[in-house]
Chains A and B, each alone.
Chain A
Amino acid sequence: MTGFYARWAIMIGGILLLAMMTFQQYQRDLSTISLATVLNSPASSETVRILGMVKSGTLSGAVDQGQATFELMDGPTTLPVEYAGPPLENIRELKTIVLLGHLDHETKTFKAKDTALISNFGFVAAAYVIAVFSLGWAIFAMSQRVMVLFKEIKEEKLYEPENEPLANKE
């Protein structure tokens, strides 16, 4: 019985460790901050990720050569962006994008050097949680049921040793 719960504790510990590492990676590489947070943050050249929609009628420059200026909207907040980086393949007005760069506090312009896809990580997390939790619960319940049946057979004093692998615990 102790071995059974110890095995499950190790497995749950492993899953939790994986979940924590995934969350750390999400915070480091995928999470975005709002435009208001960028505008109110202290001056820094650290690269941040922001999410917003390209404002209609503001996109200009050589987009296919990786040079563009536009305004990014996030609710009521707008932020001028100067993009200089890899050619922008999928950018267009009213498209929601993720930009990597930093805010120039003197000009209040966001200097973007790269773009990324919207992560939608909530969907990924939901799929993993549902699949792993359901399977784990099913296996746990079945393993426990086997133990209960053995206990019941013994307590009812109905147990007869059987030369039979299905009637053996291990």
Chain B
Amino acid sequence: MLNRFIRYIQRYKGWFGGGGAICIFLGLYMGLLASPPDYYQGELVRIMYVHVPLAHTSTLAYSVLFFGSIWYLWKRDPLVDNMCQASAGICALFTALALITGSIWAKPTWNTWWTWDPRLVSFSVLLLILGGYLMLRKLVDDRERGGRYAAILAIVGGIDLPIIKFSVEWWRTLHQPMSFSTRGVAISDDILVPLTLMSLGAWLLFAYMVMVRTQILYLTDLLNAKKGRLLSQTHFSQTSP
């Protein structure tokens, strides 16, 4: 079922890329030029329009990896394995960018680039888990075995997602509390519109990137398989009497 869905949605990847680019352009315009500065933070609030969508998208990407890994262990579908591998690489990129932009925001507001804050630490742990996942994929020669080990790591690492989400409530932290919760939305409309546009754009771009990366992995497998077949045919014709 998931295999069929991936193949079906792949036809529309251009729409995801185009939609993501349009949302990001509009979000950048509103975030940089049209939205007002914050009363306390001034112009620095504009960093939120890149930092928050990157952070949201990285947790979304890890959720895709988490559920994809469960599916893979259950069905052993190589296409889902490709999608998980694609999600992991892109999730690592989004996580690293969220940490970097967060650090840039922290310097003028907290007067430090880094602090051992629960949200920052749990988010960095996510990057370490992703690094481990990608290394496993690279280092284990047997692809099927590597995929299985990596899927187990991704599922175990999923424990970090609720820790990231609730770290600002469970511990004393410098990081601001959740803006979107069951208690409502704690952001004014002037800021909410560009933030929503940028978030939507980042999600669409993530979907597009996963589709392209999955296609790359598929095409690489296809090329290797065909090259292998050709090589074995050549070898066979040369060695046969």
A residues within 8 Å of B by Cβ? 11, 14-15, 18, 21-22, 25, 30, 116-121, 123-124, 126-128, 130-132, 134-135, 138-139, 142-143, 145-146, 149-150, 152-153, 156, 158, 160, 164-167, 170
Contacts and interface: CB of A to CB of B under 8 A. Distances in A.
A151 B109 CA distance: 49
Contacts of B101: 127, 130-131
Say whether chain B's binding surface is mostly helix, strand, loop, or mixed.
helix
Interface size grouping (class) on chain B: 35 or more
Interface string B202-241: 0001001100111110111011001100100000000000
B219 A146 contact: yes
Interface of B: 7-8, 10-11, 14, 17, 21, 25, 28-29, 32-33, 37, 41-44, 46-47, 50-51, 54, 79, 90, 93, 97, 100-101, 104-105, 107-108, 205, 208-209, 212-216, 218-220, 222-223, 226-227, 230
B227 A149 contact: no
17 contacts: A14-B25, A18-B33, A118-B42, A119-B43, A123-B44, A123-B107, A130-B100, A131-B50, A131-B97, A142-B209, A143-B212, A153-B226, A156-B226, A165-B8, A166-B215, A167-B219, A170-B14
Contacts of B37: 117
Given A117-B43, A139-B209, 12 more contacts: A18-B28, A25-B33, A120-B43, A123-B47, A123-B104, A131-B50, A134-B97, A139-B205, A142-B212, A149-B216, A156-B223, A156-B227
B101 to A, nearest CB: 4
Contact of B43 (A124, A138, A139, A166): A124
Contacts of A124: 43-44, 46-47
Contacts of A149: 216, 219-220, 223
Which 3 A-B residue pairings sit nearest by Cβ, starting from the closest?
Answer: A117-B42, A158-B226, A149-B219
A162 B218 CA distance: 13
Interface of A is mostly: helix
A142 B216 contact: yes
Contacts of B29: 18
Contact of A166 (B44, B100, B214): B214
B219 A165 contact: no
A165 B11 contact: yes
A120 to B, nearest CB: 5
Contacts of A14: 25
Given A127-B105, A150-B219, A167-B218, A21 B33 contact: yes
